Amino acid sequence: MKEPSRGNNGFWNSFRQGGVPSAIASMMGTPTAQQMAFLRSLMRENRRPETLRTPLNELDAVVFDLETTGFAPQHGDEILSFGAVRVMGGKVIEEEQFYTLVKTRNRIPEHIAELTGITTEMTQDAPQLLNGLHDFMSFVGGRVLVAHASAHDKSFLNAALWKTSKVRLSHRVIDTMMLARWLEPQRSGYGLDELLQSRNIEIKGRHHALEDAMMTARLWGAYLDDISKMNVVTLSDLYHHLSHA
């Protein structure tokens, strides 16, 4: 899908290619052995039990999205970009964002380039997968992750973590699609566009990882407003209700 036009094409092109410091975490990276050790350590240590007791209105989380070349990492589909933004409770901390492209091994299919706006040429000077993954996980730290239809993103993260560091994602994850199914079971569809429209959240730059993460973060905030009116206080409470939905 073609993105809406931007008033400053130079800025947007620079943003897409990793040229806007305020939207991007450092892509310098550390030596490969250190990156792998960091990822392994993070996966061992981040799943603290006290996180489950955290009130949702105080939850420190990262809302993220990936753009990929398809749906099957086990069949060679690749991550094209990482986008993420930090949230505290339902508040989006817009100055704490992450975005990077990832260098691909294969040419990006034309229909994916049209959908995402990311071409093979744009990724050639981007970080390698391990570097991009390391920087993304450095931004995430031990925070809870939030994503829409998270199974897709988790499958690619797990494939990338295993390929680069022989570890699996161990972070706690909240899926806004699951929240929508629980809060609004009468809906006929739970696509991101439909849910954004239902909450009067402006849709712009769809299929750009950072833009999608920002919109999902606002959706998460809207759902937290609903949840706050229910007897659901902590992350543990939320998981309990979702498991019985």
The residues of the chain scoring below 50 in pLDDT are 1-31
Place of tokens 């809870």: 144
Q: pLDDT digits over 110-137, tens only?
A: 999 999 999 999 999 999 999 999 999 9
Q: What angle do CA 62, 203, 79 make, to 5 degrees?
A: 50
- What angle, rounded to 10 degrees, do the helices at 32-45 and 129-140 form? 40
The span from the CA of 148 to the CA of 33, in Å, is: 32
User: Do 102 and 127 form a contact (C-beta atoms < 8 A)?
Assistant: yes
Q: Indicate the Cα dihedral angle 133, 98, 15, 197, nearest 10°.
A: 110
- pLDDT at residue 59, as a whole number: 97
- pLDDT at residue 45, as a whole number: 64
Q: Concatenated DSSP letters for the chain? A: -PPPP-S-HHHHHHHHTT--GGG--------HHHHHHHHHHHHHH---GGGGGSBGGG-EEEEEEEEESSS-GGGT--EEEEEEEEEETTEEEEEEEEEEE---SSPPPHHHHHHH---HHHHTTSPPHHHHHHHHHHHHTTPEEEESSHHHHHHHHHHHHHHHHS----S-EEEHHHHHHHH-TT-S---HHHHHHHTTPPP-STT-HHHHHHHHHHHHHHHHHHHTTTT--BHHHHHHHHHT-
Q: pLDDT digits over 72-82, tens only?
A: 999 999 999 99
Smallest Cα–Cα separation from 3: which of 121, 122, 116?
Answer: 116
The predicted model scores a pTM of 0.84
The span from the CA of 172 to the CA of 142, in Å, is: 9
The span from the CA of 192 to the CA of 190, in Å, is: 6
- pLDDT at residue 125, as a whole number: 95
- pLDDT at residue 244, as a whole number: 83
